[in-house]
Every structure is written in structure tokens, then in C-alpha cells.
């Protein structure tokens, strides 16, 4: 019971912390809208457990991606995500730019950025071993027709003091048209269902 209450509390806090950048697209933590479909995601943000709760990721998934000698692993981060319609053979893609205020190639505070598709298919895009101002493109071809859920994140590792940034642009898919708050709620529900959390309304 206590655990359930805690999970509901976490979900509520996550909902308060998330914002709506445009219809459907949701953000958590510190994400700057640069205009023109460009967003800068800071590793400065919210606890990685909150990110996992909001985006329906399994607990500990973000820590599991951290490559570091620091036992604290991932500490906090920010990100954006959406649910989009996709068809077999369609490509989901975006461009990215990495910059970090950390010392390059630190084995302790090795901040990183990653993308996750459908809650579990993860790809690390960059870390502090990636030179500043490196640009890249991520693309993924769908082998099904349905809904694609994606999230893109920048994460602090080891401590929370010095930040790293992933700027994303040219996201290839537009949101499923629906009222923005409804989209947030739907993503929340999907996140909760995937974590086997039951909500009782009164
Ligand atoms: Ca930070
Ligand atoms: Ca950092």
C-alpha cells in the first residue's frame, strides 16, 4: 500500500514537472524551445527515477546506460517525448548536436544523451567522450504500423553540478493530433500501465 501511494505521488509530481512544448510533445526537466522545431535538452533537470516514471521506462534503465566508475550512476536529467503514428517502412529520425561543460572524456562524470523507442529500445547518442559540437542523425525504420512512443534525454552522471546538452531538430514525425493536455494524460496513463500501477479515483 505504501509503495502504491509512493508511485502515485511520483506520477503526480512528474505530471506537474512536465510541460507541453507543442501539441502532443511533452517535456520534463530543463528543455529550451529554440523555435523552428529545435530543442535543447539539459542534463540539469529532475531525478532519473521521475523520468522513468513519466515515460514508462523500467526502473533503473537510465542507470543501466551510464558508463562510469562513480557508484551514483545517473543522477538527473531532462527530456522530451511523444507518441506518433507510424507505418511499416516509415523512418523516424532527428538530428542532434552535443555539447558538454564537463571535462572531455571523464570516466566519473560521464554525462550522456540517449533515445528510447517504445519504452525499451535504447540508443546512446553521445557522452563526454564525444567532442563538443559533434552533430549526428538518428534514424529508425518501423517494421509495424501503429503508435511509436519515443523519448530523447540528456542525463547527468556522478553528480548534478556540471551540465551537458543535446540539441535536437528536424524531428521527422508530427504528433498525433489531440488536445495537448489529453496527450500528456495519455502518456501518463501508458507510463503507469506499463509499470503495473493501479489508480483509484476516489
Ligand atoms: Ca545538473
Ligand atoms: Ca554532469
pLDDT in tens, 13-48: 554 455 554 558 999 999 999 999 999 999 999 999
pLDDT tens per residue across span 90-121: 999 999 999 999 999 999 999 999 999 999 99
Q: What is the pLDDT of residue 83?
A: 93
| % of the chain with per-residue pLDDT over 70 | 77
Q: What is the pLDDT of residue 114?
A: 98
Asked, for residue 84, whether it belongs to a domain, the answer is yes
Listed residues: CB within 5 A of ion ligand 2:
109, 111, 156, 162
User: d(Cα 141, Cα 21) in Å, to the nearest integer?
Assistant: 25
Asked, for residue 199, whether it belongs to a domain, the answer is no
Asked, for residue 77, whether it belongs to a domain, the answer is yes
Three-state SS string over 114-144 comes to: EEEECCCEEEEEEECCCCCCEEEEEEEECCC
Asked, for residue 195, whether it belongs to a domain, the answer is no
Nearest ligand, measured from the Cα of 101: 2
- Please check the confidence at residue 159 and state whether its pLDDT lies above 70: yes
C-alpha of 149 from chain center: 11
Per the structure, the complete domain to which residue 152 belongs is given by: 20-47+60-178
Give me ligand 2 centre to Cα 25, in Å. Answer: 25
Nearest ligand, measured from the Cα of 111: 2
Residue given cell 501518463 in the structure block: 188
Nearest ligand, measured from the Cα of 161: 1
Give me ligand 2 centre to Cα 182, in Å. Answer: 33
Rounded mean pLDDT, 120-144: 97
C-alpha grid cell for residue 193?
Answer: 500501465
User: d(Cα 148, Cα 94) in Å, to the nearest integer?
Assistant: 14
In the chain, the number of structural domains is 1
Average pLDDT along the chain: 86
Residue given cell 527515477 in the structure block: 49
Nearest ligand, measured from the Cα of 100: 2
Nearest ligand, measured from the Cα of 127: 2
- We report the CATH number of the domain holding residue 80 as 2.60.120
Give me ligand 1 centre to Cα 44, in Å. Answer: 3
Give me ligand 2 centre to Cα 45, in Å. Answer: 11
Amino acid at each position: 500500500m505504501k509503495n502504491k501511494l509512493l508511485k502515485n505521488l511520483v506520477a503526480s509530481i512528474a505530471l506537474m514537472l512536465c510541460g507541453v512544448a507543442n501539441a502532443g510533445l511533452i517535456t520534463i526537466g530543463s528543455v529550451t524551445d529554440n523555435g523552428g522545431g529545435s530543442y535543447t535538452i539539459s542534463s540539469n533537470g529532475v531525478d532519473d527515477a521521475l523520468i522513468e516514471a513519466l515515460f514508462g521506462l523500467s526502473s533503473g534503465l537510465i542507470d543501466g546506460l551510464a558508463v562510469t566508475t562513480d557508484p551514483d550512476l545517473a543522477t538527473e536529467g531532462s527530456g522530451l517525448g511523444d507518441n506518433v503514428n507510424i507505418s511499416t517502412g516509415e523512418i523516424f529520425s532527428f538530428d542532434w548536436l552535443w555539447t558538454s561543460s564537463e571535462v572531455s572524456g571523464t570516466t566519473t562524470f560521464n554525462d550522456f544523451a540517449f533515445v528510447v523507442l517504445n519504452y525499451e529500445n535504447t540508443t546512446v547518442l553521445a557522452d563526454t567522450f564525444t567532442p563538443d559540437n559533434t552533430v549526428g542523425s538518428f534514424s529508425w525504420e518501423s517494421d509495424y504500423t501503429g503508435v511509436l512512443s519515443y523519448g530523447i534525454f540528456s542525463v547527468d552522471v556522478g553528480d548534478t553540478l556540471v551540465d551537458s546538452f543535446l540539441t535536437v531538430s528536424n524531428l521527422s514525425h508530427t504528433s498525433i493530433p489531440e488536445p495537448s493536455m489529453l496527450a500528456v494524460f495519455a502518456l501518463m496513463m501508458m507510463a503507469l500501465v506499463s509499470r503495473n500501477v493501479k489508480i483509484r479515483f476516489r
